[in-house]
Chain A
Amino acid sequence: GDSVTQMEGPVTLSEEAFLTINCTYTATGYPSLFWYVQYPGEGLQLLLKATKADDKGSNKGFEATYRKETTSFHLEKGSVQVSDSAVYFCALSDLGTGGFKTIFGAGTRLFVKA
């Protein structure tokens, strides 16, 4: 079945460092790909998405490119801030029985130090 694998955390960076969180997927269909962010005590917020190969999703300085050849959707940010400290989830959504079903990775916790 479909699955998402993302790098284990926690990831600890200093402010203004470059961030990469790796994500790879397996899917039988042609899924849409997402990154969600979860701040402490809150629900998930959609960070960015891509719906087809070579699409680049971007938001708030974060970017990820849908790479079909490598089945990857790595999250990057050029300069992280303390406020980016959160848990990041890679996810795919594929057409299943009667509608879309979202599969999440295990999450990667990011700590950014001032």
Chain B
Amino acid sequence: NAGVMQNPRHLVRRRGQEARLRCSPMKGHSHVYWYRQLPEEGLKFMVYLQKENIIDESGMPKERFSAEFPKEGPSILRIQQVVRGDSAAYFCASSPPGTGSAEQYFGPGTRLTVT
């Protein structure tokens, strides 16, 4: 059973470009979470999605950031018009369906560098 997959692992963008980060959850998992980790800091919750629904986006910046988890395909975190402050590691996690599982399985992360 493959783990959570994220791609790309490393992404370099110039200021003003768009960044698209992909996350494929573990097989059978229908809950996806995105977190951001700034250098030397902990993980900050961004958004929680189920298939075709955003459940909790309380951690998402109000502008330039969006996330989706379509019926088919991976979850996408999109950052428009990137700025230097967006440079961070972005981690995706997944968990099984239902509310009975608090345990999340993490992907290896995408390290975004904005130049």
Contacts and interface: CB of A to CB of B under 8 A. Distances in A.
Interface of A: 31-32, 34, 36, 42-46, 49, 51, 89, 93-107
A32 B102 contact: yes
Contacts, number: 69
29 contacts: A34-B102, A34-B103, A36-B106, A42-B108, A43-B107, A43-B108, A44-B43, A44-B91, A44-B93, A44-B106, A46-B105, A51-B102, A89-B43, A93-B102, A94-B102, A95-B99, A96-B56, A98-B48, A98-B50, A99-B31, A99-B50, A99-B55, A99-B95, A101-B45, A102-B33, A102-B93, A102-B104, A106-B42, A107-B41
A62 B81 CA distance: 44
Interface string B83-115: 000000001010100010111111111000000
Nearest to B45: A101
A105 B50 CA distance: 25
Contacts of B108: 42-43
Nearest to B31: A99
Interface residues of B, number: 26
Which A-B residue pairs are the 8 nearest by beta carbons?
Answer: A93-B102, A32-B102, A106-B42, A98-B55, A43-B106, A44-B106, A100-B102, A43-B108
A49 B55 contact: no
A105 B109 CA distance: 18
Given A32-B102, A49-B103, A97 B55 contact: yes
A102 B4 CA distance: 17
